[in-house]
Amino acid sequence: RDVALLGLSECGNNHDMVSILTWADDPSPRVRAACIEALSKMDPNGINERCLMALSDPSSRVFRVATHVLRRA
């Protein structure tokens, strides 16, 4: 699922962002992190709020991805 989200971010459109967002609360930290990364590629200016929310995620993987995305912004 995580690879599919990242692939969708490479070739998807704005409509696909809605599909990606449905994975934001997935039980898997890998999928949640991929969701943040994918959204940051599709909408770099609109990801900050999602990243700020992810800073409180219990997974260190999700936290790392969110901080990385915020640094790039």
Query: Looking at residue 67, what is its pLDDT?
Result: 97
Query: Looking at residue 3, what is its pLDDT?
Result: 84
**Helices 29-42 and 60-72 meet at what angle, rounded to 10?**
10
Say which residues have a Cβ less than 8 Å from residue 65's Cβ, sequence separation at least 6.
33, 36, 37, 54
Query: Looking at residue 27, what is its pLDDT?
Result: 97
Query: Looking at residue 44, what is its pLDDT?
Result: 85
Query: Looking at residue 68, what is its pLDDT?
Result: 95
pTM for this model (two decimals)? 0.88
Query: Looking at residue 9, what is its pLDDT?
Result: 85
Low-confidence stretches of the chain (pLDDT < 70) are none
Query: 3-class SS at 43?
Result: coil
